[in-house]
Structure 1
Amino acid sequence: MTDTVAPSITTTADELFVAPYLAPSNAYDEAFDGRGSVRLPWQAITTAMQQLGAEGMQDRHLRAQRILRDDGATYNLKSDPLSPNVWSLDIIPNVMMKAEWLKLESALQQRAKLFDLLYKDLYGEQRLLKEGVIPSEIIFSHPGFLRQCHDMPWPSEHRLTFHAVDLVRDQSGRFIATGDRTQAPSGAGYALENRTVVSRILPSLFRDSRTMRLSGFFQTVRETISQLAAHITESPRIVVLTPGAYSSTYFEQAFLANHLGYPLVQGGDLTVRNGKVWMKSLDGLSRVDVILRRVEDAFCDQAELRSDSGLGVPGLLEVARQGNVIVTNPLGSGLLETPALLAFLPDIAQCLMGEELLLPSVDSYWCGNAKQLDYVLNNLPQLIIKPAFRSQLSKSVYGHQLDKQGLADMTAAILENPIAYVAQTYIPGSHSPIWEDGALSSRPCILRTFSVASDEGYRVMPGGLARVADSRDQTIVSKNLSGSRSKDMWILSDTVEADIDVPLDNLPGAQAEAANLPSRVIENLFWFGRYAERAEMSLRLMRTIFKQLNGIDIFPTESRKVLLCAMSDISGSLPGFHDQPELLENPNDELAALVVDSQRMGSIKSNLQQMLACAEQVKEMLSADTRIILNELRDHIHSIDRAYINGLPPVPEESLDSLVTSLLAISGLNHESMLRGMDWMFQEIGRRTERAMLTANLLKNTLSEPLPSLQQQQVLESVLLSVEALISFRRRYRTRARVSYGLDLLMIDRSNPRSLIYQVEQLRKYVSELPTTDQGTLGLSPENRFIIKSLNDIQLADLDSLAQIDETSQTRHNLTELMTQVMDNLEHLTTILSDKYFDHTAGPQQLVKAKWKNNV
């Protein structure tokens, strides 16, 4: 039976395959053979592309990009919450028949087992070093060799829970390993996201192809991780340790944490007490049994490893040595990623397993060996030069890309420190078809596969994460996930897979119901609510100002001054319009800056950026609909930037409507869809506190100064308009625009959801439901005292007295004093809540900080 079939080209749409791209001269083509015929696994793919045509393919491409963006799938290399890098995905999957895959799977299982044995030996018996199989310089000179991990206890047979391999095909189509990932292998979550997206945009093709599913692999992950702490407890507490929201793979970490059902924590969320690791939450400290880490070895423990790390948990290594917490993959496993080991891997396999390697590695030469060094120097233009000790800053140098001077410099660098370099044969990646710019082309391709330990050995994800070069100029696919485009990897089966039997957990009901969230998550949600309210209040007041300044009625100087100065006070961008007559006469530039100047603290854009930054920190807590709205908000912000590029646009108030609508959508979604847990509670506390303080500030800065009747009415109606209460006011009081009537609606009307008393009463309700930590406190808690004091001050206020003008100061002094008192009380409230429920303490540090260099 032939493994290729010639495509039938009869229509214009079929022209995609007449000559899709030039055949690579020195590389394997995944989809087409040397005659241009379609390989057997690709028949269904090419047929589907023919049926869809260029227009249908482009539509699927755009849908995929939209889904990825809505999912928040990013690969961030910057900290800009307005322009995250959306994960790059090509909609054409890579495919492989199951028979070919099973052979590769066996080789990957053997390789994972070998690296597991290698870790055990290097941190245990060290037979490989004693027998000279591995030169000792490779290990003892490596900064990733952690002597503290020697003979560390482990509860299961397999030390390496996860193992990943980067693979390329040579010209014959044979898979060759180019590198291993053993420390915190990334990419499995992106592979799952790719599968989710591609199966949605090509549902019929995916269903009819009988593609092997990924769910079994992730079920094995759950079972394996749960069993790691079976000797400690029947219901282990498992967390995913992330470097934080600005980690380049943060989306994957959050995505996996949600998919597996584990809390996502940062180093500051954990602490070491009494020889154990604890998670700091609202309910106090909760013991952690297993840490699935995504932080590199050196940054995991400030006390014993890198003292300048802000990502780890001081004392973690000592707790792991005692066996009181399981960190996986185990600390010290970064050592196994050195490419220098590949030069000795066949001998290592014979020594530890007595077997030949089923999966060959790329030919590697360690320059610390005199014979291999001589070969490298004589063949430098045909080799890839890599640092023997991987780091985030290490880069590979391709000899064929160097000029004469570059080769001389590289030679000098190698001779200066030979043990620090490894050379590998350059293997051009196989070419895979991609969809780009409305047409079919090809790019070099690389595959990362993933294995997880199980009771039977190692289970391999059926497929993995395929990646292709991102531009036509690139002939090499980066080993890092950035700078490349990903593809879904389909393993085509001739049978339908049976459903997976998911075992029931024995998690106690009390623990299942507990909203055990890290304090950091709660704090970010609290500030998310506060920044959202700041942005909304500023937007509403700014829209009102624009309407009044550009309205058909005359807007007197006195009214203009009050509203403009109130804008400066509400935004906190001072001095602003205060004591600057020239700005009052020509306010356009200042108003434009308060909208779009992100460097201006308190500006609308600055508040929105801060809100989005808080959302990034708690991405795993946000619903799909919330992420969609946040993406729309980003689009609206970019539209505002374009509209304001030359100052205020012609109708500035209309340009802000979309931002207000997005903020209202977020608020409504949270109110209607979020479970009433502690996450929702603190977000609401943040919102209500900020709205109350801003309302009090608005009343203080707009109604305290007496004005002539016309101007007073204009200002009062402007305030009512900015809080969506003008229509209700007119219906209730007709045309009697008295200040005391306005205060009645904005201060003490419980039916108005934007009134001051409504906010404080909601705060009283929410704060009363918070966990109590002061067991020995008698009477009311400090936070309740400030809430009740504010509530009493508002309820006991005499509105006519507040509206009276003080003869001495010629202001509404009582109103100013009351609003100031309410704002102070609420500010004290936020301080107490912060001190009580949020974590601000610094962890222990090394008394003597290490100064030795790691860049050997």
Structure 2
Amino acid sequence: METKENIIFENYFKDFSKYDELLTSELTIKADWKSLLDNLLKIGNKELASKQSEIDWLLAENGVTYNVYNDPNGLNRPWNLNIIPFIIQQKEWELVEKGIQQRSEILNLVLKDIYGERKLLKNGIIPPEVIYAHRGFLRSCDQIQYKTAKQLSIHAVDLARGPDGRMWVVNDRTQAPSGMGYALENRFSKSRVIPEIFDNINVIQPSNFFKDFNQLLLTAAPDHKDNPTVVVLTPGPHNETYFEHSYLSNFLGYPLVKGNDLVVRNGKVWMKSLKGLKQIDVILRRVDDAFMDPLELREDSYLGVAGLLEVVRLQNVAIVNPIGSGVLENPGLIPFMENICKYFLDEKLILPQIASWWCGQEKERNHVFENLTSFVVKKIDRSQRENIIFCEFLSKKELKQLKKNILSNPNQYVAQEKIYFSTAPNFVNEKLEPRKVLCRTFSIAKGDNYSVMPGGLVRVAAEREKLFVSNQRGGTSKDFWVIGEENQDQLQLYSWNKTSPNNIISINDVPSNTAENLFWSGRYVARTLLTARYVRMVLNQMTNVQYTNRYQSDSEGLNILYQSITTITSTFPGFFDEDKSEEMLKTPLKEIISVIIDEKRIGSFAQSLQSFNGSYYTLRNLWSKDMWRVFDSIDKIWKKFKQEKNYSIYALTKFFDQIITRLIAFMALTEESIMVKQGLLLYFIGLQLEEASMTIEKFRALIVVTHDEDLEYEILESLLSSHESLNIYRYSYKSYLSIENVLKLLLLDNEYSRSLTYQISRLQKDISKLPNNNVNNEDTNCQKNIEKALSLIQNITLEDVLYTDDKSKIRMKLDALLAELSDLFHVTSMAISDTYFNHSQQQKQLVNRNITN
């Protein structure tokens, strides 16, 4: 009879490694895992599979992503979390924790030394080539002094269990270590979906660690400044861990900024806000060293801040971690770490590390060559992301070439002993399977010591035979449990000792990049929605006249609507193409489909949606989880729609029905989730400006030219329908459609939110609330332009806009009003950009330092 235990362990023993976390070498369950296994068996295979699906769904719904460049499935790959955690007992962890604290202190002292006195080099502890041949060593950082107790503030350590049963150090990450946010989200997700897995297990929570992390940022400020201004510096939304940048910004309550949000003036770093410049005291950076300052480091970088290093020298800003700390991510240091530890601390390393040989030494190089197939070879500089070379799999020809490569530049190579690290159980297809695992934990400076995160992030190989453990290569993650003996409060409480001083307290303090993205997000969402509604209206009209692809409609009204699509979307020449217009009017669906799906066509629905996606994604640190869910559903509907091969009118209309409701939901959630003082005002201005501009284009396309009574009725009905105003009109006027009443409602009504007068009035009110930087408090150009637009529309009469030139059949005064308003909206938009979003020109080096070579 099969038991639950037999079922869940089926095939687990296949290719069994004696270094398994769950099993002893005698294939019995380790005592450390007994409680967890009991919980798993109590839950059962089917329920575990169901809970795993829930975790996958929750992570996707919450927008937890890991970006992979050139991924055929898209930029935002969903984060994967396996339901089975990795566990380690507190008694063992205490030794690991001491070892990490020791290693963090050693690396801290190395960092201070190699940019300071360089005693390690002078006394022969480290060969100079190990440091100077590594691109992480930045000469521009030489002799910079810091006021913080520890120069190395954050240290990430990759650990794996070695053949002696102890946890070994595999890698050090010190430049801009990633994973903290993912580790925290893993714990949140596991606790929410399957709380019963924690039953009778005392999992230590990381809440105290994150309190220490927040305190680290506050106390890092120069001269222990009270209420320092802290920002999180990101390379932008295409970075692989952008989710985490946004997550930590939101979690800690610090603004997320890009390099062009910051500027150096008078020896200090300032954030460009709507009101002006605001001094920055601490920068938590997620930008790599070489990109931090285009004046002194990589001159082609647009990710950093020109002149930043000089401010660091003046000790007017704290960078966490310091620029130049990437030199510690150097496997060439590993062979010398024991001697470094002895030199600085007069101690032995607590945590073992992989036996390594630096090829810059002749004796060590010869040893490597004699035993090459037993080693793994890598370059000391990971900035080029070269592959690790497993020599056992190389042919004789390849081994010969590798030796040649090493001899040509021996200082660049390290050989390491090939170690098969432990496996841990992964839940796959309702069974447990062993997978190679790599654990990452974090250490942060706290007073004279380091605080270590209890647990962290575990990465898992994609397949049971795989040696590589990498998210880029398709691996998954695990929650990392440190299990204590005392009862633990499973509630995760995260409150800071100090109220965050960086809360945006007024619209004046919004970073200019955030404000600009909010402004354009408003414009793009309005453009996407209004384009969708208008094209849907035309498709419905095509159905109403019983139009099909096989027959030409003789409806003059439809022909006007086809041409209006080109006018409103600016997808010229479109239906106005003199050479093809007759053919297009016979088969209009082909052109309409192009306007919908051609992402390379300026003005198309596809391009508007693409712009909407891009602008909003840069703001995801401001989003609620509901916003992500709606955003993600829009993306999924669009991807599915693009895979269609035959687009019927019905299929196109159904697609727009789905997209429009979700766009409206997203707009409502935007207003709920972002405060006006966080920049929502800019979103409103962009939204109203785009709506007003497209309203003008509708008027110009449909009602500037007069038509006979029946055709005008058809056109007016189409206009009201596309404007979502047909029911309002019927309720308000209860009469036959007339141009007089339509213009009253859609052009001149100052109480109807969709009328042009109301839109301009709302714009005027919102623009007047923007910060005024003029010394004499005079109106800004954007205020003057929108005031003029409001005056124009308020002073025109119904008789004026109805006036028709008998010869041309054009409503001349209406046409002139619309043209002038359109121009004023354009210059208003430009004035807003010039006044509030004008980022200073990138400064450049006079001499290229050639740091990339």
1:366 Cα deviation from its structure 2 partner: 0.3
- In structure 2, how many angstroms separate the alpha carbons of the residues matched to 1:851 and 1:671? 47
1:266 Cα deviation from its structure 2 partner: 1.1
The one-letter amino acid paired with 1:572 is S
The one of 360, 381, 384 aligned to 2:373: 381
CA 523–203 in structure 1, closer or farther in 2 if over 3 Å, else same: same
1:777 Cα deviation from its structure 2 partner: 5.4
CA 570–427 in structure 1, closer or farther in 2 if over 3 Å, else same: same
1:639 Cα deviation from its structure 2 partner: 2.8
Aligned to 1:317: 309
- Say whether the 8 Å CA contact 1:387–1:421 is kept in structure 2: yes
Aligned to 1:348: 340
- In structure 2, how many angstroms separate the alpha carbons of the residues matched to 1:207 and 1:775? 64
Aligned to 1:440: 432
CA 673–115 in structure 1, closer or farther in 2 if over 3 Å, else same: closer
Aligned to 1:108: 100
Q: Pairwise mapping of residues 423-434 of structure 1 onto structure 2 (< 5 A)?
A: 423-434=415-426
Query: How many percent identity over aligned positions?
Result: 35
1:456 Cα deviation from its structure 2 partner: 4.4
1:201 Cα deviation from its structure 2 partner: 1.3
TM-score norm. by structure 2 comes to 0.95
- 1:592 aligned onto 2:590: no
The one of 7, 10, 20 aligned to 1:19: 10
Aligned to 2:550: none
Q: Pairwise mapping of residues 519-538 of structure 1 onto structure 2 (< 5 A)?
A: 519-538=512-531
- 1:167 aligned onto 2:156: no
- Say whether the 8 Å CA contact 1:515–1:678 is kept in structure 2: no
- In structure 2, how many angstroms separate the alpha carbons of the residues matched to 1:616 and 1:414? 44
Aligned-residue CA RMSD (Å): 2.2
- 1:547 aligned onto 2:540: yes
- In structure 2, how many angstroms separate the alpha carbons of the residues matched to 1:411 and 1:741? 86
The one-letter amino acid paired with 1:528 is S
- 1:250 aligned onto 2:224: no
- In structure 2, how many angstroms separate the alpha carbons of the residues matched to 1:741 and 1:88? 57
CA 758–514 in structure 1, closer or farther in 2 if over 3 Å, else same: closer
- Say whether the 8 Å CA contact 1:27–1:170 is kept in structure 2: no
1:586-637 residue CA offsets vs partner (Å, 9 max, x unmatched):
0111111222222222221221111111111111011111111101111221
Aligned to 1:741: 741
The one-letter amino acid paired with 1:764 is Q
- In structure 2, how many angstroms separate the alpha carbons of the residues matched to 1:834 and 1:768? 15
- Say whether the 8 Å CA contact 2:171–2:329 is kept in structure 1: yes
- In structure 2, how many angstroms separate the alpha carbons of the residues matched to 1:352 and 1:340? 18
- Say whether the 8 Å CA contact 2:222–2:317 is kept in structure 1: no
- In structure 2, how many angstroms separate the alpha carbons of the residues matched to 1:420 and 1:18? 45
CA 703–831 in structure 1, closer or farther in 2 if over 3 Å, else same: same
The one of 47, 70, 74 aligned to 2:65: 74
Aligned to 1:3: none
1:708-727 residue CA offsets vs partner (Å, 9 max, x unmatched):
22221111101101111112
Aligned to 1:401: 393
The one-letter amino acid paired with 1:784 is Q
The one-letter amino acid paired with 2:781 is P
- Say whether the 8 Å CA contact 1:163–1:452 is kept in structure 2: yes
The one-letter amino acid paired with 1:459 is S
Aligned to 1:573: 571
1:553 Cα deviation from its structure 2 partner: 6.5
- In structure 2, how many angstroms separate the alpha carbons of the residues matched to 1:502 and 1:776? 43
CA 799–288 in structure 1, closer or farther in 2 if over 3 Å, else same: same
CA 83–246 in structure 1, closer or farther in 2 if over 3 Å, else same: closer
Aligned to 2:31: 40
CA 804–755 in structure 1, closer or farther in 2 if over 3 Å, else same: same
Aligned to 2:788: 789
Q: Classify the secondary structure of the residue corresponding to 1:85.
A: strand
1:510 Cα deviation from its structure 2 partner: 9.6
1:158 Cα deviation from its structure 2 partner: 1.0
For structure 2, list consecutive stretches of 5 or more residues without a partner in the other structure.
548-552
The one-letter amino acid paired with 1:543 is R
- Say whether the 8 Å CA contact 1:23–1:29 is kept in structure 2: no
The one-letter amino acid paired with 2:525 is A
- In structure 1, how many angstroms separate the alpha carbons of the residues matched to 2:666 and 2:350? 54
- 1:52 aligned onto 2:43: yes
Aligned to 1:808: 807
Aligned to 1:664: 664
Q: Classify the secondary structure of the residue corresponding to 1:385.
A: strand
CA 501–20 in structure 1, closer or farther in 2 if over 3 Å, else same: same
- In structure 1, how many angstroms separate the alpha carbons of the residues matched to 2:740 and 2:18? 82
- In structure 1, how many angstroms separate the alpha carbons of the residues matched to 2:770 and 2:94? 54
- In structure 2, how many angstroms separate the alpha carbons of the residues matched to 1:509 and 1:324? 18
Q: Classify the secondary structure of the residue corresponding to 1:75.
A: strand
- Say whether the 8 Å CA contact 1:89–1:485 is kept in structure 2: yes
- Say whether the 8 Å CA contact 1:429–1:444 is kept in structure 2: yes
- Say whether the 8 Å CA contact 1:368–1:420 is kept in structure 2: yes
1:202-258 residue CA offsets vs partner (Å, 9 max, x unmatched):
112235422111111111111122111151521111111111111111111111122
Aligned to 1:6: none
CA 437–516 in structure 1, closer or farther in 2 if over 3 Å, else same: farther
CA 107–672 in structure 1, closer or farther in 2 if over 3 Å, else same: closer
- Say whether the 8 Å CA contact 1:217–1:460 is kept in structure 2: yes
TM-score norm. by structure 1 comes to 0.95
- Say whether the 8 Å CA contact 1:429–1:477 is kept in structure 2: no
1:429-485 residue CA offsets vs partner (Å, 9 max, x unmatched):
31111122343322111111110010140111001111111234522213x665321
The one-letter amino acid paired with 2:23 is F
- In structure 1, how many angstroms separate the alpha carbons of the residues matched to 2:502 and 2:527? 39
1:506 Cα deviation from its structure 2 partner: 6.7
- In structure 2, how many angstroms separate the alpha carbons of the residues matched to 1:688 and 1:597? 26
Moved more, 115-124 or 550-559: 550-559
- In structure 1, how many angstroms separate the alpha carbons of the residues matched to 2:32 and 2:189? 21
- Say whether the 8 Å CA contact 2:508–2:771 is kept in structure 1: no
Q: Classify the secondary structure of the residue corresponding to 1:272.
A: strand
1:63-114 residue CA offsets vs partner (Å, 9 max, x unmatched):
1122212222111124899651111221211111111111111111111111
Moved more, 652-661 or 139-148: 139-148
1:554-580 residue CA offsets vs partner (Å, 9 max, x unmatched):
875321121111111111211111141
- In structure 2, how many angstroms separate the alpha carbons of the residues matched to 1:853 and 1:458? 33
For structure 1, list consecutive stretches of 5 or more residues without a partner in the other structure.
1-8
The one of 257, 262, 266 aligned to 2:258: 266
1:182 Cα deviation from its structure 2 partner: 1.3
- In structure 2, how many angstroms separate the alpha carbons of the residues matched to 1:511 and 1:805? 53
Q: Pairwise mapping of residues 6-405 of structure 1 onto structure 2 (< 5 A)?
A: 11=3, 13-78=4-69, 84-206=76-198, 208-229=200-221, 231=223, 233-405=225-397
Q: Classify the secondary structure of the residue corresponding to 2:264.
A: strand
1:124-149 residue CA offsets vs partner (Å, 9 max, x unmatched):
22111111111111112222222332
1:275-301 residue CA offsets vs partner (Å, 9 max, x unmatched):
111111112111111111111111111
- In structure 2, how many angstroms separate the alpha carbons of the residues matched to 1:14 and 1:507? 50
- In structure 1, how many angstroms separate the alpha carbons of the residues matched to 2:849 and 2:829? 39
1:809 Cα deviation from its structure 2 partner: 2.0
Aligned to 1:725: 725
